Amino acid sequence: MVIKQTEQKESMLKRGWWLILLIIIFLIAPAFLSEFYLTVLCEALVMSLFALSFNLLFGYMGQLSFGQAAFYGLGGYTVAMLITKVQFNFWLSIIAGVLVASVIGLIVGFFCVRLRGIYFAVLTLAFGQLIFSVVFKWHDFTGGDDGIQGVFPPEFLKSPTNYYYFLLIVFLLSAFVLWKIIHSPFGQTIISMRENSERTEFLGIHIAKYQLITFVIAAAFAGLAGAIWVPFYRSVAPSYLTWIKSGEPVMAAILGGPGLFFGPVLGMFIMTFFHSWVLGFTIYWPVVMGALILAVIFFLPGGILGFIQEKVNERKEIRNRE
Amino acid sequence: MSFDVLFSQFMSGIARAALLFLVASGLSLTFGVLRVLNFAHGSLYMLGAFLSYSIWKFLLMPVLGFYLAAIIAALIMGAVGILIEYVLLRRLYARGWPEQLLATYAIVLIIMDLVKWAWGGEFLSIPRPKPFTGAVLLFGFPFPSYNFFVILLGLGLLVFLWWLIYKTRFGDIIRAAAHDREMVSALGIPIPWLFTWIFVLGAFIAGLSGAVTAPFGSVALGMDIEIIIECFAVVVIGGMGSLPGTLLGSFIVGEVYAFGIMLKPELAIAFIFMVMAVVLIIRPWGIFGRPER
C-alpha cells in the first residue's frame, strides 16, 4: 500500500478553521443528542483514539499490527481491577493502565520489531491471542469469561455528559500529542524508515530501537483508550482483547485512509455509528464488516479521506494549469 | 515421571502434529507459491468440518458415511477455493500484501457469520468411524486408534505433496514459480491458472482436515482462529512455504503443546509462542525458510 505523505504544517494551519468548527460541534453535541447517541459518540471517541494508536504503526511506521486490542484490553483490565479490587484512585488507575500497556508493549515489541510485513502481522496477532488466552483462562485473577463488572468513575463523572467531556479532552490532548510526535524529527525518522529502511539505516539510525519506541507509544495510547472506556461502560470482558477487536482499527484505517492523520478517526466514526445502526436489526455484524472491508479494498483504495484528498489535488492541479 | 506417561504424551503430541501438518501444509503451499498469507485458511477448515457433519448426518451410512462425507466436504471446499481465488484474490495480486491479508481477513469474518447462521453455536461431533473406534494399548496405555488414522493421513499427505512438488512436471512449475514468477510466465506457463489450482488444492486440504477433526468432538465456532494461529506458529517456526519446514514446525508445535498441557494446561499455548519467539530471534525467516528478498 503506497501511502502518500500529504500533511504539512502549512496546510494544517490553513485547515485550522474547520478543526475549530469541529471542536465547537463536539462541545455542543451533548445538547442535541439522545443518551443513546451520546453513548455511541463516546464509544466513537475512544475507538478513534485506539485507531490513532494503531495507525501510528500502520500508516506511519508501515507495519500492520493485528494484536493492538491486547493493549487496549490490558489498559481496561488494569483500571477495572484496581478500581474494583483495591478501590484505587480513578486517575492513578488510568495512569497505571497506560503503564501496564506500555510495559507489556515493550516486551511484545522487543520481539515484533525484528520482523517486517506479514511476519510482523502474524507475530503481533500471536502475542495478542496469547495475552487474550491468559486473561481468558486465569479465572481467579481476571474473572475469566465473566469479566469484571461494577467499575465506577468518581461521582462527578457519573453522568454521561460529564464523562463525554472528559473523554473529549483526553481524546483531543492525545491526538495533539500524537500529531506532535509524527511531526517531530522522531516522527519523520519513522516515516523515512517506512519509505526506505535500508537508506535510513545507512544514515546511522538504529531502526529496531526507533520501531520499539514507536511500538511502546502505540501500546500506551491503546492502553489509555481502554483505560478511559471501561469506567464509562462500567465493565470489562475478555472480548476486548480478541483478534476481532484488533481488526477494528485496521478496518477503520483503511476505510478512512491510513495515509492521513484523521483518516482512522473518520473511519472509526463511520464504523461505530454504522455498527450501532446495524445492530438494530441483525446480530451478524462481522459479515457486514467483512463485506465493507472488501468493498473498500476493491472500490476505494486509499480510503474515504484519501479519495477526497485525491480529488482536491486534481482540482488544484487543473487550477494551477489554468 | 515414568517413561510410559512421557511416551503416551509424546504419542498424543504426534497425533496433534499430524493434524497440524494437515492444515498447515495447505497454508504453507499457498503462501509459497502465491505469496499470499491466507488468513481464511482456518475458516475453510472450519467450514469443511461443519459441512462434513451435515453431509454425514444426511448420508446415514454406518461405515462409509464418514469417509464419503469427508471427501465430499473437501471437494466442496475446493470449489469454494475456486470462488475465492477467482473472484477476490486474483484482483489483488498486483496490490500490496496488507490488502491481500485484509481481504482474507474479511473472508474470515464472512465465513464465521455464515457458520453461526447455518449451524448455530453448538458443539458438534461425529462418532469415530470404523475400523478406528477402539483403542490400542501402547506400553499399557490406551491410545485411540483414530489417532493412528490421523497420523497415517498426515503421512499420506506428506508423501503426496512430496511426490507432487518434487516428482511431477506440475511440481517443477510450482517450485519454479515460487522462485521466480516472471521467468515462469515468460516461458509461456499461465501463472493465473497455476495460482488457481494451488489455491484450490490448499482449500481442498483445509476442508479435508476439517472433516478429519470432527470425530475429535471439537466442531464449534472459534475453531477457525484457534487453528490458524497454531498454523501461523507452525509455518513461522518451520519457515513459510517450505514442506520440510511445515513438517518440523508441526512436530515441534504438536509436542510442545502435548507436554505443555501436562505441565500447565492454561499455559500450553504460551509455550508454543515462547518457542516461536526464540526461533524468530535466532532465525526470523524460520528453520527451513529463506529470507525475504
| A22, three cell numbers | 469541529
pLDDT of residue B186 exceeding 90, the answer is no
| B247, three cell numbers | 513438517
Residue A89, classed as helix, strand or coil, is: coil
The alpha-carbon gap from B162 to the nearest alpha carbon of chain A, in Å, equals 26
A61: left (phi over 0), alpha (psi -120 to 50) or beta: alpha
For chain A, say whether B113 makes contact (Cβ under 8 Å): yes
How far is Cα A260 from Cα A277, in angstroms, rounded to an integer? 26
For chain A, say whether B98 makes contact (Cβ under 8 Å): yes
Q: Following DSSP, what letter does each residue of A23-73 receive, concatenated?
A: HHHHHHHHHHS-HHHHHHHHHHHHHHHHHHHHHIIIIII----S-HHHHHH
Chain A, nearest residue to B40 by Cα = A290
Tell if the CB–CB gap between A118 and B103 is shorter than 8 Å: no
Tell if the CB–CB gap between B106 and A133 is shorter than 8 Å: no
Q: Which residues of chain B make contact with A134, given a CB cutoff of 8 A? A: 266-267, 270
Which DSSP state fits B219? B
Q: Which residues of chain A make contact with B225, given a CB cutoff of 8 A? A: 129, 243
Q: Which residues of chain B make contact with A117, given a CB cutoff of 8 A? A: 97, 292
Phi, psi angles (nearest 5°) of residue B190: -70, 105
Host domain of residue B156: 19-221
| A132, three cell numbers | 487474550
Scan residues 20-79 of B and list those with Cβ closer than 8 Å to A. 37
Report ipTM (2 d.p.).
Answer: 0.84
| Alpha-carbon distances, residue B40 vs A162, A290, B119 (angstroms) | 43, 12, 19
Q: Tell me what pLDDT residue B292 has.
A: 63
Asked if the structure places residue B236 within a domain, the reply is: no
Chain B, nearest residue to A1 by Cα = B96
Tell if the CB–CB gap between B232 and A122 is shorter than 8 Å: yes
Residue ranges in chain A modelled with pLDDT below 50: 1-10
Out of A58, A115, A284, closest to residue B280 by CB? A115
Rg (CA), chain B: 19
How far is Cα A237 from Cα B50, in angstroms, rounded to an integer? 28
Give the residue among B68, B20, B82 at the shortest CA–CA distance from B227: B20
Q: Following DSSP, what letter does each residue of B101-160 receive, concatenated?
A: HHHHHHHHHHHHHHHHHHHTT--B--PPPTTSSSEEEETTEEEEHHHHHHHHHHHHHHHH
Which helix (DSSP H) or strand (DSSP E) does residue A148 occupy?
A: strand A148-149
Going from N- to C-terminal start, the domains of chain A cover: 34-241
Give the residue among A95, A71, A72 at the shortest CA–CA distance from A83: A95
Tell if the CB–CB gap between A286 and B109 is shorter than 8 Å: yes
Asked if the structure places residue B181 within a domain, the reply is: yes
Q: What are the pLDDT digits (tens) for A281-315?
A: 888 888 988 998 899 888 888 788 888 888 888 88
For chain A, say whether B292 makes contact (Cβ under 8 Å): yes
Return the residue in A115, A297, A299, A300 with the most chain B beta carbons within 10 A, the one to mutate for interface testing.
A297
CB–CB of B247/B116 below 8 Å?
no
For residue B258, the tally of other CB atoms under 10 A from its CB is: 20
| Alpha-carbon distances, residue A14 vs A7, A19, B44 (angstroms) | 11, 10, 50
Between CA B7 and CA B16, with CA B12 as vertex, the angle to 5 degrees is 145
Asked if the structure places residue B168 within a domain, the reply is: yes
Tell if the CB–CB gap between A134 and B99 is shorter than 8 Å: no
Rg (CA), chain A: 20
Which DSSP state fits A242? S
Q: Tell me what pLDDT residue A3 has.
A: 47
Which helix (DSSP H) or strand (DSSP E) does residue B185 occupy?
A: helix B181-186
Residue A4 is which amino acid? K
Which DSSP state fits B86? I
Asked if the structure places residue B78 within a domain, the reply is: yes
pLDDT of residue B237 exceeding 80, the answer is yes
Q: Tell me what pLDDT residue A40 has.
A: 93
Give the residue among B255, B239, B273, B235 at the shortest CA–CA distance from B23: B235
Tell if the CB–CB gap between B113 and A117 is shorter than 8 Å: no
Tell if the CB–CB gap between B105 and A291 is shorter than 8 Å: no
Residue B146 is which amino acid? Y
Q: Which neighbouring-strand residues pair with B142?
A: B137
* CA-CA-CA-CA torsion sign (B172, B70, B43, B157): negative
Between CA B226 and CA B229, with CA B228 as vertex, the angle to 5 degrees is 70
Which DSSP state fits B84? I
Which DSSP state fits A167? H
Sequence-ordered list of residues with C-beta below 8 angstroms from that of A282, at least 6 positions apart, any chain = A288
CB–CB of A259/A6 below 8 Å?
yes
Tell if the CB–CB gap between A1 and B99 is shorter than 8 Å: yes
Asked if the structure places residue B23 within a domain, the reply is: yes
Scan residues 223-252 of B and list those with Cβ closer than 8 Å to A. 225, 229, 232-233, 236, 240
| Alpha-carbon distances, residue A71 vs A57, A104, A262, B99, B213 (angstroms) | 13, 8, 21, 24, 33
How far is Cα B113 from Cα B122, in angstroms, rounded to an integer? 14
Tell if the CB–CB gap between A287 and B114 is shorter than 8 Å: yes
Out of A126, A244, A254, closest to residue B229 by CB? A126
Asked if the structure places residue B172 within a domain, the reply is: yes
Return the residue in A293, A296, A299, A300 with the most chain B beta carbons within 10 A, the one to mutate for interface testing.
A293
Asked if the structure places residue B227 within a domain, the reply is: no
CB–CB of B258/B10 below 8 Å?
yes
Q: Half-sphere exposure of residue B97, counting CA atoms within 13 Å on the CB side?
A: 18
Tell if the CB–CB gap between A291 and B110 is shorter than 8 Å: yes
Q: How many domains does chain B have?
A: 1
How far is Cα A291 from Cα A278, in angstroms, rounded to an integer? 13
B221: left (phi over 0), alpha (psi -120 to 50) or beta: beta
How far is Cα A212 from Cα A111, in angstroms, rounded to an integer? 9
How far is Cα B226 from Cα A182, in angstroms, rounded to an integer? 36
Q: Which residues of chain A make contact with B270, given a CB cutoff of 8 A? A: 130, 133-134
Length of chain B, in residues: 293
How far is Cα A102 from Cα B104, in angstroms, rounded to an integer? 30
Out of A1, A122, A125, closest to residue B98 by CB? A1
Scan residues 249-268 of A and list those with Cβ closer than 8 Å to B. 250, 254
Asked if the structure places residue B179 within a domain, the reply is: yes
pLDDT of residue B120 exceeding 60, the answer is yes
The alpha-carbon gap from B75 to the nearest alpha carbon of chain A, in Å, equals 24
Chain A, nearest residue to B114 by Cα = A287
Higher pLDDT, A46 or B61: A46
Give the residue among A276, A286, A220 at the shortest CA–CA distance from A72: A220
Tell if the CB–CB gap between B276 and A291 is shorter than 8 Å: no
Tell if the CB–CB gap between A286 and B113 is shorter than 8 Å: yes
How far is Cα B104 from Cα A107, in angstroms, rounded to an integer? 29
Scan residues 72-91 of B and list those with Cβ closer than 8 Å to A. 88, 91
Q: Tell me what pLDDT residue A4 has.
A: 47
Residue B160 is which amino acid? F
Q: Which residues of chain A make contact with B102, given a CB cutoff of 8 A? A: 250, 254, 293, 297
